[in-house]
Amino acid sequence: MRKFRIITGAAMAAALMLVVMAAAGCGGKDKSGGQQAAQKKNISISTGATSGTYYPLGTAIAKTLTDAGIGLNVTAESTGGSIENARLLGQNQTEIAFVESMIADWAYNGKEVYKDKKVENIRGLISLYPNTIQTVVKTKSGIKSYADLKGKKVAVGIQGSSSPLAMQAVLESYGLTMNDIKPQYLAFGPSMELLKDDQVDAVMVDAGAPNSSIIDISTQHQVRILSISPENIKKIKEKYPFFSDPVTIPKGTYKGIDEDVTTTGSLATLCVRADLPEETVYNIIKTIVEKRDDIAKVHEKGKTIDLKTATNGFSIPLHPGAEKYYKEKGVLK
């Protein structure tokens, strides 16, 4: 009986040891997993409509950042676009956001739609590509220059958006004002329908090229896109530093456009909150730049990520984390 008890006691002790070891192992794994989960910070990128460019590009960037092993779990969120995104940064409801450079300027300086609510915590991360100014006229109209728009009905975009200011900036460089034209405050699509029926003389589209509304009208009518001379672009940039250097829309981009078009535009940019840690932002920009090919595999606009143009068009301060990276790469001194 005693022998049985000894054996049973030893067996029980061994079994207990196995249980303790197993529990320790499981506990260690849980602890490790918990630590890893705790180290992963959840952040969001505010983009735009799912049918636009910001959302799919933002999704590509979010995946690249999440997979980069820099301790971030990044999600792309569909929003109303630049104006809303700047507000979301100001309300600490997002960490990264697509914000057109003109809108970033308004937000930081408390202009236009931000007159009553400056977004003081918005900081620049990287410039991407210009939303190019493409003013479309019918060839038969005889309009060949912005100077020829005097007295004409010009669709300039929705009132309260950045589009009318873009047109105003161009007109000023030609010695005109919005009072010299007959502005029609309409969205691109309805404006093009009016141009087709000769109810307006010109439509200004500020978007990436090619643009679907311009493709549509160019397949039905002979149209021209007005160029902005490099001299005029220089004048524009002197007053509005958030505009891009001259951009060329190659001939053949649209049917019947057999000459290169020179233009400019407010830049699509990524902005971040000022309170994000410097190391976090440094890792974010480093990953975006160095893994641009991965981003471009998902969305072609990833190809516009370029250190040479990374700081173009910003009239707001860059985040210190971005500055650190750009100085390392010789982009900034």
User: pLDDT truncated to tens, each residue of the chain (333 aa)?
Assistant: 333 333 344 443 444 344 334 444 444 444 334 444 457 899 999 998 776 788 999 999 999 999 999 999 999 999 888 989 999 999 999 999 999 999 999 999 999 889 999 999 999 999 999 889 999 999 999 999 999 999 999 999 887 677 888 999 999 999 999 999 999 998 888 999 999 999 999 999 988 888 888 999 999 999 999 999 999 999 999 988 888 889 999 999 999 999 999 999 988 999 999 999 999 999 999 999 999 999 999 988 899 999 999 999 899 999 999 999 999 999 999
Tally of CB atoms within 10 A around 307:
15
d(CA 126, CA 45): 14
Q: What is the pLDDT of residue 211?
A: 86
Count Cβ atoms below 10 Å from residue 246 Cβ, excluding itself: 16
Number of continuous H segments (helices) and E segments (strands) in the chain: 11, 11
DSSP codes joined into one string, 59-121: HHHHHHHHHTTSSEEEEEE--S-HHHHHHHHHTTS-SEEEEEHHHHHHHHHT-GGGTTS--TT
Structure confidence at residue 70 (pLDDT)? 97
Q: Is the pTM of this model over 0.75?
A: no
Residues whose CB is less than 8 angstroms from the CB of residue 212 and which lie 6 or more positions away in sequence, other chains included: none
Q: What is the pLDDT of residues 168-205, one digit of tens each?
A: 999 999 999 999 999 999 888 899 999 999 999 999 99
State the Cα torsion 81-161-220-201 to the nearest 10°: -170
Domains of the chain: 39-129+267-328 (3.40.190.10), 130-266 (3.40.190.10)
Structure tokens belonging to residue 6: 């000894």
Alpha-carbon torsion (67, 70, 71, 75), positive or negative: negative
* Cα–Cα distance for residue pair 231/206, rounded to 1 Å: 20
What confidence tens digit (pLDDT) does each residue in 274-307 have? 999 999 999 999 999 999 999 999 988 899 999 9
Residue 51 is predicted with a pLDDT of 65
pLDDT of residue 38: 53
